[in-house]
A and B are shown apart, each in its own frame.
Chain A
């Protein structure tokens, strides 16, 4: 049974890391966002494996459901017309590769592997381990974490208002949807403008004069 959990952990770790690496290296930004969703799923599965079931569900709801949709919409609204054939990475991307690689190889792995983690002793056999679940989280949010909970609510409200204000398009620039009366009036005005028959002669003379002036200069 323990080997099964180990194998599951290794599978999830491989899923998370390959998806993350694809996210940062793939050229098409839409594909990067889809790989990011796969990585989010892997992290949620890892939470479930660690028996943090509320966090696992919250991960799927918030990251997979909300944040990734937000990112996909932002990509759709800001697509580069030049396409994906231009450069995706900064010119000095190898410096950006050296810094995280050094951080990982020289700092994280030695620290994590050599530190003495003073793990608590396993619970005696037959007795289920005391793990705080969703019920304990709910109680804690209503009692000792009540103030941070309210502050988080205010933060979300402020972020929502801020996002609306920042992304708001001013009325003069926005393409307006006409009402029915305005559309009728616009059509009448266009018909009145078309009533004087189209005269080809002024246009032709205009072209000739422009050519003449072009020849002169």
Chain B
């Protein structure tokens, strides 16, 4: 029975997750649209999950903790997306814009 652990070395998977995290970080930092920032954050959370699952599969495949942690991350990401998008809708209703640099009432 061939498995991923023999075919693909662990550093490849971790590099893929790191690259995905960096792309998501770039998206979260560079977008003006608040929804775009949220898309970047979702990409970063996915990269973290890839890391968790890879460590579970390569290092401790018989312990359930890695997958459980990834499931909790998915849960928190779903809650974060719901609250964040509700806030974006509320901001849009109050100010007719979703651009992060135009919502600057708290700027000192």
Chain A residues engaging chain B, CB cutoff 8 angstroms: 1-6, 9, 13, 16-17, 20-21, 23-24, 29, 32-33, 36, 39-40, 43, 46-47, 49-52, 54-55, 58-59, 62-63, 66-67, 70-71, 73-75, 77-78, 80, 87-90, 93, 95-97, 99-101, 103-104, 108-109, 112-113, 117-120, 122, 128-132, 136-137, 139-141, 145, 148, 152, 155-156, 158-160, 162-164, 166-167, 169
From A1, A9, A36, A136, residue with most partner B Cβ within 10 Å:
A36
Closest beta carbon of chain B to A87's beta carbon, Å: 6
Per CB-CB distance, the 4 closest pairs between chain A and chain B, nearest first, are A24-B27, A159-B79, A96-B29, A108-B18
Closest beta carbon of chain A to B107's beta carbon, Å: 15
Per DSSP, are chain B's interface residues mostly helix, strand or loop, or mixed?
A: helix
Once the chains are docked, how many angstroms separate the CA of A36 from the CA of B5? Answer: 27
Once the chains are docked, how many angstroms separate the CA of A122 from the CA of B33? Answer: 48
**In the complex, are the beta carbons of B68 and A163 less than 8 A apart?**
no
Contacts of A52 in B (CB 8 A): 53, 56-57, 67, 70
Interface size on B, residues (CB 8 A): 79
Contacts of B103 in A (CB 8 A): none
Given the known interface contacts A17-B20, A80-B98, the answer about A9 and B31 at a Cβ–Cβ threshold of 8 Å is no
15 sampled A-B residue pairs with Cβ under 8 A: A20-B27, A33-B39, A52-B67, A67-B78, A78-B92, A90-B30, A93-B29, A112-B14, A122-B5, A122-B6, A148-B68, A148-B72, A158-B79, A163-B85, A167-B86
**In the complex, are the beta carbons of B26 and A97 less than 8 A apart?**
yes
**In the complex, are the beta carbons of A23 and B92 less than 8 A apart?**
no
B55-78 contacts to A (CB < 8 Å): 56-65, 67-68, 70-72, 74-78
